[in-house]
Amino acid sequence: MTKTWFITGASSGLGKEMAAQLLARGDRVIGTSRNAASLKSISEQYPDRFDACLLDLTDPGGLGQAVDAAFDRLGRIDVIVSNAGYGLFGAAEELDAAEIDRQIATNLTGPIHLIRAALPHLRGQCGGCIVQVSSEGGQIAYPSFSLYHATKWGIEGFIESLAQEVAGFGITCVVAQPGPTGTNFGANLVVAEASEAYAETPAGAVRRAILDGSFVLKGDAARTAAAMIDAAESSSPPLRLTLGSTAYESIADALKMRLAALEAQREVALKADRTDL
């Protein structure tokens, strides 16, 4: 049975790859972008099954109107894929206030407003799936990506709570955590002006690795997109879907270190309890 998908950021990266795979197999896709021209080719290729939607994630009112219009027009949307986003690169001190605000509005509050707008419709149709594209950066952190990590850790917490709130309505949630993948993520990276003070720090080392191309991208975009589609269609999807060997290994290492640190603090933690209970 064909499904209908609403995908933000459908003009590039994993969103574009998901849309291409879904349309090729016969599904219907509403794909969003901030630029109409970027959706022209896919609209022309699938005029009957692809609906282009201009959408700016930093405009909460526009988000709500677009989601309402899509459900009103199509009646049912099976999967909401919150994919649009970008990376802000630079040590925290190197970033300016406008860059910080835009990163949070695009990667965190935008997806929250999008999902909130979809929830009444998903409840009304008694089910659906929400796929939030995060990254390995929702569980680990690299120097020079502090604001990007802040948004990804934040959206993962939002989805983990939301999943418990909406399970009774037949709504499932998936947080996709790809590792470094062969998409145009790097081309869309917003790079803050470098400060000489950080040149010989871990932040400076990561900056050099990013800019000279030595940061290895092991992930395959087509396989990653296919795994996300499979998870969304599963009868029992995982809350977190880790994709790629880099993501698997880095997240596993981070969780082991976090658990070891927690265990080392057990005695201190227990002493913080009240003694009158």
Q: List, by residue number, the catalytic residues.
A: 134, 148, 152
Look-up of token digits 């952190």: 141
Paired with 79 in beta bridges are 5, 129
Tokens of residue 22, six digits: 């879904």
Name the packing angle between helices 146-166 and 110-124 (round to 10°).
20
Instruction: Find, among 257, 258, 229, the residue nearest to 243 by Cα.
Output: 229
**Helix residue spans in the chain (DSSP H):** 13-25, 40-45, 60-74, 97-104, 110-124, 146-166, 202-211, 221-233, 245-264, 266-271
The bridge status of strand 128-133 relative to strand 171-178 is parallel
What span, in angstroms and rounded, lies between the C-alpha atoms of 254 and 259? 9
Instruction: Find, among 84, 85, 99, 87, the residue nearest to 207 by Cα.
Output: 87
What span, in angstroms and rounded, lies between the C-alpha atoms of 160 and 150? 16
Tokens of residue 255, six digits: 């969780």
* Sign of the dihedral through C-alpha 151, 12, 207, 243: positive
Q: How many residues does the chain have?
A: 277
What span, in angstroms and rounded, lies between the C-alpha atoms of 241 and 139? 12
What span, in angstroms and rounded, lies between the C-alpha atoms of 50 and 98? 34
Side chain identity at 166, as an amino acid letter?
V
